[in-house]
Structure 1
């Protein structure tokens, strides 16, 4: 597997984790105690990581 695709996969996974953490903080679930304003930050960073990872995986071509 290509290094760019690996990094894109890692970014995507980190983005998913950030989105879930931000959503749990917004809903005050699972012991995550963030205010509604503070939960926007991990959610936004998660979205950025998620879309950057997806675009990196899509834009990288396979070489056989």
Structure 2
């Protein structure tokens, strides 16, 4: 198995976890400044990880197929 695909899958999973956690914070947050900062940080990092993981998976060719 290709190492880039494994790393892309890992980044995608971390991105999904970050986005789910940001949604959880959004649902259970009060209007405090600290929760908004946390929501933005986890949301942006989740989007970056998810996007880069999907991009890495799409750009990596499958070497097992001739």
Classify the TM-score, shorter chain: 0.7 to 0.9
CA distance in 2, matches of 1:9, 1:41: 21
- 1:48 and 2:48 correspond: yes
TM-score, with normalisation over the residues of structure 2? 0.83
The normalised TM-score by structure 1 is 0.85
Q: Which structure is higher in helix share?
A: 2
Q: Alpha carbon RMSD of aligned pairs, Å?
A: 1.4
Distance (Å, rounded) in 2 between the aligned partners of 1:4 and 1:38: 30
Give the CA deviation at 1:57: 0.2
* Displacement of 1:38: 2.0
Runs of 4+ in 1 over 6 A off after TM superposition: none
User: SS where residue 38 of structure 2 aligns?
Assistant: coil
Gap runs ≥5 in structure 1 = none
Q: Matched residue pairs, number?
A: 60
Q: Which structure: larger Rg?
A: 2
Q: Provide structure 2 residue ranges, at least 5 long, that are not aligned to the other structure.
A: none
